[in-house]
Structure 1
Amino acid sequence: MQLDSASGWCRGINHCPSPNFNARPAGEISLLVIHNISLPPACFKTGHVQALFQNRLDPGAHPYFEGIAELRVSAHFLIERDGEVSQFVSCLERAWHAGVSSFEGREGCNDFSIGIELEGTDDQPFTDLQYTALIELTRQLRQAWPGITVERICGHSDIAPQRKTDPGPCFDWERFRQAVQQVRGGNE
């Protein structure tokens, strides 16, 4: 995986372009938001997350889908349980991942953030392969956009606490933050 900061796309990963994005307002990319998702809930490697982000989810494929098939959402990246990474939206564009949100008093986090979905649930640990891919991806994103400091990496629950719980209590923030700081040489 290699991020091309000029295009905002990573080479060496799956590209699944989503129509659910628009232009970012002028300004910085300075926030990384970590989510979790699985479709149906707690079912993995189904391809349904990709279908949702590409507006192809069949509402008849599972009863849960009836209530979400019409959603128009996306994220920049998805990291599946086996560490496979897919990209849906260029980092230079505004993916629709955060919804109504606020970080440090600034509303509309989609304007200045990158969203990474981890395939999972609030109540199941994430895999070592996911952490490895997430750490490498985060390293590249932070290199391209230095405004993404360790303090500006958060969960969806941090920016939308009344609505969201992800990435959930099973996400190992300490493990992730220590690895991210080690990659940068601990200079934060």
Structure 2
Amino acid sequence: MPPAPLAVHVDPLPYQARLQPRLRAQIDLVVVHCTELPDLATARVYGERILYPESQTGNSGHYYIDRDGGVQRWVDTDRVAHHVRGHNPRSIGIELVNRGRWPRWLDADHQAMAEPYPDAQIAALLALLRQLRQDLPSLRFIAGHEDLDREDVPASDDPGQRVRRKRDPGPWFPWDTVLAQVALQRLPGPGS
């Protein structure tokens, strides 16, 4: 008997209709992120911010998974969300609620990511990935944000030091579990 469909709460961002449309057939990649924020409500505030005046859109993923396993879709898959430089037109962004390095993302002395991902959150991610595989036959690859955005930037607390701009989903993300249970190939990052 097939598993029950994943319950996804649809709550489109106010600017969703202004995001570039795309064909579902061009989607071959899922990028896993962590919000690096304290909670889902704060992530929503950040997601609604207009950062690109020409299009009146901002940065966001398509799906957000809270610590308790609740799944929300903020951007439809047939729209290009702004979640990872250079890969947006071909990818789905999935954000896992996790503090990451919050609130001092780029401080040289605050680069450790100490919050593990709860089992309920990973179970929901696996269910979502399986559903996306079913719905998007062209989906073949998965990557972490840190795999694709490897830029080093000056540390905010010591510009003489450099830190990784993006480190998510980070060292607590269970790559072995995810790759063993979902038929997606991990996409190597630039220079790998």
Q: Write the mapping of 1:1-188 to structure 2, written as runs, cut at 5 A.
A: 2=5, 12-18=7-13, 19=15, 22-25=19-22, 28-39=26-37, 43-45=38-40, 47-55=41-49, 72-98=58-84, 100=85, 108-120=86-98, 121=100, 122-149=113-140, 152-162=141-151, 163-181=165-183
CA distance in 2, matches of 1:38, 1:44: 9
How far off is 1:22 after superposition?
Answer: 1.4
Q: Percent identity?
A: 34
How far off is 1:25 after superposition?
Answer: 4.6
The answer to which structure has the higher strand fraction is: 1
Q: Which runs of 5+ in 2 are unaligned?
A: 51-56, 101-112, 152-164, 185-192
Q: Structure 1-normalised TM-score?
A: 0.70
Q: Structure 2-normalised TM-score?
A: 0.68
Residue 137 of structure 1 aligns to a residue in which SS? helix
CA-to-aligned-CA distance 1:39-91 (integer Å, 9 cap, x gap) = 3xxx235x1111221239xxxxxxxxxxxxxx921110110101011110000
Number of aligned residue pairs: 146
Asked if the contact 2:22–2:78 (Cα under 8 Å) also holds between the matched residues in 1, the reply is no
Asked if the contact 1:76–1:115 (Cα under 8 Å) also holds between the matched residues in 2, the reply is yes
| Amino acid across the alignment from 2:122 | Y
| Amino acid across the alignment from 2:89 | D
CA distance in 2, matches of 1:175, 1:156: 18
CA-to-aligned-CA distance 1:125-172 (integer Å, 9 cap, x gap) = 1010011100010001111222222xx100001111123110001101
- RMSD of aligned alpha carbons: 2.3
Corresponding residue number in structure 2 for 1:186: none
The structure having more radius of gyration, on CA atoms, is 2
Corresponding residue number in structure 2 for 1:59: none
Alpha-carbon spacing, 1:32–1:54, altered in 2? closer, same or farther (3 Å): same
CA distance in 2, matches of 1:50, 1:116: 14
Residue 32 of structure 1 aligns to a residue in which SS? strand
CA distance in 1, matches of 2:132, 2:77: 9
